[in-house]
């Protein structure tokens, strides 16, 4: 069953505003700031909100959102955005200049290699913004609530990354796939860019 926080965009934004101390939209502005100039298409995995979609529209960039949550997908369609609803691990993903995932990588920690294989079969650049300082790591009722609230429609997720585990996990994928990784910033979220190395001809 989908957690209550994922059932309505207004509630979702309110909770995120609290978690990000009023800097929720800044999270997306940080992401769009590292999307390379000349990008023509973006695929936004587990998009939830449509902040990046709105930015892409203003820049003339084709945006495709992928999400399992029917409520978020319906809202994005109402706003005129192109959405693919379903499980990104089983569907055929679209090609795009840049892939983005904000705050959802932890859902795929046990299938990270498979996720990276699927993403880099369709793009050269993957922008990841992932929380590394989490309320869910807290003990007591606050931590319990944070862990139980993270069900976008598939299952409650109790695993969370910290700075060391996220860096280690993604560096392993970079070695495996011959990618380069650049850490842009570290705060509540770690923002990083993974890219295929330029081939020498």
Domain harbouring 188, CATH code:
3.40.50.150
d(CA 123, CA 120): 5
By the 8 A CB rule, do 184 and 193 touch? Answer: yes
DSSP code per residue over 118-138: HHHTT-SEEEEEEESS-GGGS
For residue 19, what are the CA distances in angstroms to 8, 160, 189? Answer: 17, 15, 11
Which pLDDT value is given to residue 40? Answer: 98
d(CA 201, CA 197): 12
Which pLDDT value is given to residue 200? Answer: 36
Domains in the chain: how many in total? 1
Positive or negative torsion for Cα 144, 147, 148, 149 = positive
Tell me if 167 is assigned to some domain.
yes
| Residue matched to tokens 């505003």 | 17
More confident residue, 157 or 46: 46
Tell me if 135 is assigned to some domain.
yes
pLDDT of residue 190 exceeding 50: yes
More confident residue, 36 or 150: 36
CA 101 to chain centre: 2
Tell me which residue of 150, 132, 127 sits closest to 44, measured CA to CA.
127
Calculate mean pLDDT across residues 179-183. Answer: 98
Tell me if 136 is assigned to some domain.
yes
Confidence grade of residue 10 (pLDDT, cut at 50, 70, 90): confident
**Element (DSSP H or E) covering residue 185:** strand 179-186
Tell me if 201 is assigned to some domain.
no
Tell me if 8 is assigned to some domain.
yes
d(CA 75, CA 79): 6
pLDDT of residue 39 exceeding 50: yes
| Residue matched to tokens 């598939």 | 154
More confident residue, 133 or 89: 89
Confidence grade of residue 136 (pLDDT, cut at 50, 70, 90): low
pLDDT of residue 127 exceeding 60: yes
Confidence grade of residue 145 (pLDDT, cut at 50, 70, 90): very low
More confident residue, 38 or 16: 38
Confidence grade of residue 199 (pLDDT, cut at 50, 70, 90): low
Residues 6+ apart with CB under 8 A from 77: 83
Confidence grade of residue 12 (pLDDT, cut at 50, 70, 90): confident
d(CA 44, CA 154): 18
Mean of pLDDT over the chain? 87
Q: Whole domain around residue 47: which residue ranges?
A: 4-196
pLDDT of residue 112 exceeding 80: yes
């Amino acid at each position: 069953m989908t957690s209550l926080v994922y059932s309505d965009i207004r509630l979702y934004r309110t909770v995120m505003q609290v978690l990000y101390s009023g800097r929720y939209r800044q999270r997306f502005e940080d992401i769009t700031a590292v999307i390379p100039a000349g990008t023509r298409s973006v695929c936004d995995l587990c998009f939830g909100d449509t902040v990046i979609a709105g930015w892409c529209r203003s820049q003339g960039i084709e945006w495709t959102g992928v999400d399992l949550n029917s409520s978020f997908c319906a809202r994005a369609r109402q706003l005129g955005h192109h959405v693919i609803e379903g499980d990104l691990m089983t569907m055929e993903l679209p090609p795009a200049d840049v892939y983005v995932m904000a705050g959802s990588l932890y859902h795929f920690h046990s299938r990270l290699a498979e996720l990276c294989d699927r993403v880099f079969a369709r793009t050269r650049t993957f922008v990841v913004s992932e929380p590394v300082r989490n309320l869910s790591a807290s003990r007591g009722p606050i931590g319990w609530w944070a862990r139980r609230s993270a069900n976008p429609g598939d299952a409650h997720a109790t695993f969370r990354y910290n700075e060391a585990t996220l860096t280690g996990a993604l560096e392993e994928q970079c070695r495996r796939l011959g990618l380069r990784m650049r850490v842009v910033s570290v705060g509540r979220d770690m923002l990083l860019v993974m890219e295929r190395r330029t081939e020498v001809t």
